[in-house]
Structure 1
Amino acid sequence: MSEPLRYERLEEARLGALQELNLLDTPPSESFDRITRMASQIFNLPISAVSLTDRDRQWFKSRVGVDHRSIPRDKAPCAQVAESADVLVISDFAQDACYADSLLGRSGIRFYAGAPLITREGYGLGALCVLGTEPRAVAASEVAALRDLAAMVMAQIELQHAFGRVDPLSGLPSRNQFLDDLADLAAEHPDEARIAVLVDLARPEQVGAYARVMGPGRIDDMVREAARELRRLLGPERKLYHTAATQFAFLAAPGVTQDNYVRLLAEGHRQARQRSMTGMLLTSAIGVSVFKPCATAPQDVLRALYSAVQDARSSPDLVSVYSSSADEAYQRRYRLLQDFGPALRADNQLRLVFQPRIDLPTGRCIGAEALLRWNHPDLGPVSPGEFVPVIEHSPHAQTMTAFVLDLAIAQARRWQEAEHRLVMSVNVSAANLHEPGFGSSVESALRRHGLAPERLELEVTESAVMQDADQARRQLDALAAAGIRLAIDDFGTGYSSLAYLQDMPAHIVKIDQSFVRKLGDGEREKSLVRSMISLSHDLGYRVVAEGVENVETADRLVAMSCDEVQGYFYARPLEVDQFEVWLQEHKQSAEREAKINAEL
């Protein structure tokens, strides 16, 4: 290798080491200024600086007697110190052939002494230097003092670098160090497949509960104990990282196979849980990801491990290998959650469709259920079965219901003005039942649009009511007192089927479609639905059967004295204009049928 090429590569490596420390262009620091002042006092000189040699400048992390923050690198003596990694003394600039006409020489500097700032890997970052306006000599003791001060500067640099690279609780390398080491691995062994492992000691809510009982200090003890145990298990040849409060990561040795290693992890994890006396490790989980450093960014490796740990929570042995399909599904859910807020503010993404509710004895349409639809600008139409469960457990839950209520009540008012006296049904989530003032906001919307309370029906599920039965009961009582109709949705799929209904201020019971669709399967299924209808009637509720898809099911429900039905047999959820056309056609059809029956 030619000398210029060798120098160029060494210089790039040196600059890389400097950049990695994140010191350039950072604010002043008293810890560095203290050493700089000490150097000025020891040498009795007006100027001192911690000078870092960048590509084309000398930048001063700390300075005494200097106004500017940097000078050009060309003919700067600190650059020579960084390149040589040795002490440089210039007794008199005027007598030095190289530096006499330098920027410092022309500005009146006559004396310079600098000791190198050297990393553990041997790279020279710059110098701790002192300067004067008069020529002078230096004693060996002064050179030794300058070296000691430079070593103090490097200790401070390493301390600042370690802060954020070493976890103070466990003493292990931190997440930042893990990411850096993954980046180094990509440079050194880009095509070598590796296995990364993440150990998560417990769920966050379990850590919180444990800390509440035992105190946060016990959590710290548990983490330190786990760190010691994992280091013992891994041995000195494997590096362990503390990547989050209760999470540790490491890389398996090169060349190990995935299946064998996962089996070893599962067995080791089982034994660790059996040995654990704290109870916390019983909830630990292990995520595994296989990756190629050249193809997977460090942050993506860590994200894959997080995903695998979440999947491990539902695995029998609490160990799971990263699945791209499961991760894609999670990423999609996350995107839906992120994009729903903007969708609420847009005017072309969210809309309502309406499914008719039919009175079985008369065949008339007496109501409609408002259903939310989302046409995502990138993903296209998103099924409500996909996005509603995500949004219902997010901060958007209350806003979503308010959005649907406002549109639905406004549409019900328009239908009322067109002499279609329909009851508008809107789904309500558990979050709404815990929302202070929810009843007042519903009444306010009714007043704003001029709709009578009895023209609105709110549907709540059994599970939503039972999350906090007392609070839900108070909300439902207030809504019922305001004259708003209430319906128990998805009846039969929740906690209890009928026991709690006798105390609920509801008017309607909606039998879940999973029961209705099985009516043709046998006598047992028929008997179950018949009992639901009979008992609901005995308790004073009107019964709606969901999911009616054929005439046979409708006829069976008529025979069971069911009050209302909805389902594809009558109509799918319809756009507003489609609903109005359907409504007119259905009304005419019902009138013709009534006339024929009367003639017969």
Structure 2
Amino acid sequence: MKKGIFLIWIDEHRQMVERVTLPLIIVLMIGITFLFSNTGGVKLGYSHAMYIPVLLAGFVFGFRGGVLTGLVAGFMLGPFMPHELIGGNAHSAGNWLFRLSVFTLIGFLAGLTSDSARSYQRRLKWLLQHNTLTNLPNRHALIKTLEQYDITGDEARTFLLVVVCCENEIELKSAFGSSVVEQTILQLADRFSRLCTEVKIFHTDLGQISLLFRVSYGEVDPLLANLLEDSREPVEYNSVKIHIDTRIGYFIFSQPEELPEDCINMAEAALIVAKQTSRNMVAYNPAIKMATEENISLLGQLKHALKMGQLALHYQPKVEIDTGKIYGAEALIRWEHPSRGMIPPVKFIPRAEQSTLIDVITEFVLEEAIRQLSVWQKSGIDVSISVNISTRNLLQPGFTDLVVRLLNQYDLSGELLELEITEGSLMVDVEHTIDELKRLTRLNIVISIDDFGTGYSSLQYLHQLPISVLKIDQSFVRRLPEDQGAVYIMEAAVVLAHNLGLKAIAEGVENKQIYQFLATLGCDMAQGYLIAKPLPPEKFVEWYGQYAGIYHHSDSIS
């Protein structure tokens, strides 16, 4: 390792090393020649000292320098040396020619070894700073480039670091093979190189390109607009036009205050937000970093929170609109942090759903909800409990078996459990999702679609899904009855549900006016703050007892 570092240092400071080494070699050769000629020739073996400058020349100047130095050394200790050799014999031509040949060969071999080492070192250095798939500069090269930039004294210009990612990379690879990603990157790089004269392009991840522009402030917005347009143009692979989905994150900086790695991290943090929010392009701002750090920190504490009993379930009642019967409750997770207080689910659940932690959380929620069901059933509180699950849960091997085991463990019927699945998540591996849902419904478990109306793709599968309930998203419900568009959507959703033989439930019911309007539409069930906020188990029991199982909206506070 130390030898490699030394060779890199030599290569980076080659001119200085050559300037220092050349006079040293000359001095050594003259000194050794003088010593040789005044000490009896080879009698004392001083001629061997000439290997030192020959080897040094080969190491520093390569095989050409080694050969030239070997020839010069051979002649300096050769025919022009008028001294006697051992035994008093004259200095023969064969003797000095042999010495010249050895010096030349040693210089050649030393130089060849040095050239090979330098060539290998240059190859390693190239590999260190380039992506071998596309031969484009890589992340390390980007860091080096940022380290070398000095932008002080040029207030009219700024640096724009852009990260472009091919979001459907896995889809492309599965359809055409891994080489399609390389071709995509190369074609995008070629397009982007024509956007600006001062741009450097780097292949920083498999499906990701980073661009470093030096532009005036006025050029930033039009440049980004052109960049987005170019990134969405189809690429050509084996004479086929291929669509690519791209997301962009960028970071603008005009002063060298940030470390290069930090600059890259900021642009990539903006890219992550663009992916998570399905936005085309996102600029970095400090709030992104704070939110990212908070999310990562919370996820890191989540398993510990489960072990320490910091997570609990609250239950929000559901009622039948026409009869007022309190037929069920939705289990909603709550995190009581010892130092930060109550952390709402929106702070940690969306991020957990993108990781394996959601499996642990769902298992906890399922077991706690089913245990609570058992307690309530034994105490005469006849309600069902609904639990939110994701398609990731359904795709997890053994999920249905887990539900069966928990129901058997607490000796409960499946009809008391309702599983709510977000509409948008249904589109992930539809066939497998439908198969798992059918297995669950065979246990009499109720399946409902949550947030109905916020997606659209599920409509084509709605008649195939073994569901019993459509839960209409609160974003429509809260606008009733003033917003005519929300009214039309609500009417259509209720009619659609009834025509398919399903029940319709409205969430987000916050006042009596909405509740009464839902009744006129024929909506079956309601859930929201008008009825009750999510309640811890003991408070739910008190609330349920207050109404004796029958909710009267006239008694509630609007």
- TM-score (structure 1 length as normaliser): 0.65
Matching of residue 180 in structure 1 with residue 153 in structure 2:
no
1:160 to 111, 114, 124: 124
The alpha-carbon distance between structure 1 residues 153 and 467, as it changes in their structure 2 partners (threshold 3 A), is: closer
| Structure 2 residue aligned with 1:17 | none
| Structure 2 residue aligned with 1:388 | 349
Alignment map for 1:136-147 (pairs within 5 Å) = 141=104, 144-145=107-108, 146=110
Matching of residue 205 in structure 1 with residue 205 in structure 2:
no
Tell me if the contact between 1:352 and 1:373 (Cα under 8 Å) persists in the aligned partners: yes
1:115 to 51, 56, 70: 56
What SS does structure 2 have at the residue aligned with 1:369? strand
If asked which structure has higher relative contact order (CA below 8 Å, sep 6+), I would say: 2
Tell me if the contact between 2:441 and 2:447 (Cα under 8 Å) persists in the aligned partners: yes
Residue 446 of structure 2 aligns with an amino acid whose one-letter code is R
Following TM superposition, by how much is the alpha carbon of 1:573 offset from its aligned partner in structure 2, in angstroms?
A: 0.4
Query: 1: distance between equivalents of 2:276 and 2:385?
Result: 40
Residue 307 of structure 2 aligns with an amino acid whose one-letter code is A
Residue 314 of structure 2 aligns with an amino acid whose one-letter code is V
| Structure 1 residue aligned with 2:408 | 447
| Structure 1 residue aligned with 2:447 | 486
| Structure 2 residue aligned with 1:570 | 531
Query: 2: distance between equivalents of 1:496 and 1:217?
Result: 31
What SS does structure 1 have at the residue aligned with 2:548? helix
Q: Any gaps of 5 or more consecutive residues in structure 2?
A: 10-16, 36-48, 63-95
Query: 2: distance between equivalents of 1:557 and 1:463?
Result: 24
| Structure 1 residue aligned with 2:2 | 24
- Of stretches 258-267 and 219-228 in structure 1, the one that deviates more from structure 2 is 219-228
Query: 2: distance between equivalents of 1:562 and 1:545?
Result: 7
What SS does structure 2 have at the residue aligned with 1:482? coil
Query: 2: distance between equivalents of 1:196 and 1:398?
Result: 40
| Structure 2 residue aligned with 1:598 | none
1:583 to 540, 544, 547: 544
Tell me if the contact between 1:166 and 1:173 (Cα under 8 Å) persists in the aligned partners: yes
The alpha-carbon distance between structure 1 residues 420 and 588, as it changes in their structure 2 partners (threshold 3 A), is: closer
Following TM superposition, by how much is the alpha carbon of 1:505 offset from its aligned partner in structure 2, in angstroms?
A: 3.8
Following TM superposition, by how much is the alpha carbon of 1:487 offset from its aligned partner in structure 2, in angstroms?
A: 3.0
| Structure 1 residue aligned with 2:317 | 356
Tell me if the contact between 2:370 and 2:410 (Cα under 8 Å) persists in the aligned partners: yes
Matching of residue 263 in structure 1 with residue 227 in structure 2:
no
- Of stretches 485-494 and 346-355 in structure 1, the one that deviates more from structure 2 is 485-494
Residue 203 of structure 1 aligns with an amino acid whose one-letter code is C
Query: 1: distance between equivalents of 2:246 and 2:501?
Result: 50
| Structure 2 residue aligned with 1:195 | 159
What SS does structure 2 have at the residue aligned with 1:115? helix
Following TM superposition, by how much is the alpha carbon of 1:413 offset from its aligned partner in structure 2, in angstroms?
A: 1.3
Matching of residue 459 in structure 1 with residue 420 in structure 2:
yes
| Structure 2 residue aligned with 1:405 | 366
Instruction: Summarize deviations over 1:338-370 as a string: whole Å, max 9, x none.
Output: 437525643243221111223445545332211
Following TM superposition, by how much is the alpha carbon of 1:557 offset from its aligned partner in structure 2, in angstroms?
A: 4.2
What SS does structure 2 have at the residue aligned with 1:260? helix
Matching of residue 290 in structure 1 with residue 252 in structure 2:
yes
Tell me if the contact between 1:195 and 1:288 (Cα under 8 Å) persists in the aligned partners: no
Residue 441 of structure 1 aligns with an amino acid whose one-letter code is L
Q: Any gaps of 5 or more consecutive residues in structure 1?
A: 1-22, 27-49, 55-80, 97-109, 121-136, 595-600
| Structure 2 residue aligned with 1:548 | 509
- Of stretches 283-292 and 438-447 in structure 1, the one that deviates more from structure 2 is 283-292
Tell me if the contact between 2:335 and 2:343 (Cα under 8 Å) persists in the aligned partners: yes
What SS does structure 2 have at the residue aligned with 1:419? coil
Alignment map for 1:227-306 (pairs within 5 Å) = 227=189, 240-253=201-214, 256-264=215-223, 266-267=225-226, 270=229, 279=241, 287-292=249-254, 294-306=256-268
| Structure 2 residue aligned with 1:12 | none
| Structure 1 residue aligned with 2:380 | 419
Following TM superposition, by how much is the alpha carbon of 1:457 offset from its aligned partner in structure 2, in angstroms?
A: 1.8
Query: 2: distance between equivalents of 1:222 and 1:526?
Result: 46
Tell me the percent identity.
28
Query: 1: distance between equivalents of 2:511 and 2:166?
Result: 47
Residue 442 of structure 1 aligns with an amino acid whose one-letter code is V
| Structure 2 residue aligned with 1:3 | none
Query: 2: distance between equivalents of 1:588 and 1:210?
Result: 55
Instruction: Summarize deviations over 1:232-286 as a string: whole Å, max 9, x none.
Output: 7766x76544433454445444xx4223244245447757977976656975666
Following TM superposition, by how much is the alpha carbon of 1:444 offset from its aligned partner in structure 2, in angstroms?
A: 0.6
The alpha-carbon distance between structure 1 residues 482 and 246, as it changes in their structure 2 partners (threshold 3 A), is: closer
Instruction: Summarize deviations over 1:435-455 as a string: whole Å, max 9, x none.
Output: 344322211111112323222
> How many residue pairs end up in the alignment?
485
Following TM superposition, by how much is the alpha carbon of 1:177 offset from its aligned partner in structure 2, in angstroms?
A: 2.2
Tell me if the contact between 1:198 and 1:247 (Cα under 8 Å) persists in the aligned partners: no
Query: 2: distance between equivalents of 1:215 and 1:499?
Result: 30
- TM-score (structure 2 length as normaliser): 0.69
Query: 1: distance between equivalents of 2:277 and 2:442?
Result: 47
Alignment map for 1:333-348 (pairs within 5 Å) = 333=295, 336=298, 338-339=299-300, 342-343=303-304, 345-348=306-309
More helix by share: 2
Tell me if the contact between 1:115 and 1:150 (Cα under 8 Å) persists in the aligned partners: no
The alpha-carbon distance between structure 1 residues 573 and 203, as it changes in their structure 2 partners (threshold 3 A), is: same
| Structure 2 residue aligned with 1:431 | 392
* Cα RMSD (Å): 4.9
Tell me if the contact between 1:480 and 1:486 (Cα under 8 Å) persists in the aligned partners: yes
Residue 56 of structure 2 aligns with an amino acid whose one-letter code is A
- Of stretches 563-572 and 374-383 in structure 1, the one that deviates more from structure 2 is 374-383
Tell me if the contact between 2:247 and 2:280 (Cα under 8 Å) persists in the aligned partners: yes
The alpha-carbon distance between structure 1 residues 82 and 399, as it changes in their structure 2 partners (threshold 3 A), is: farther
Matching of residue 373 in structure 1 with residue 314 in structure 2:
no
Following TM superposition, by how much is the alpha carbon of 1:572 offset from its aligned partner in structure 2, in angstroms?
A: 0.5
Tell me if the contact between 1:190 and 1:292 (Cα under 8 Å) persists in the aligned partners: no
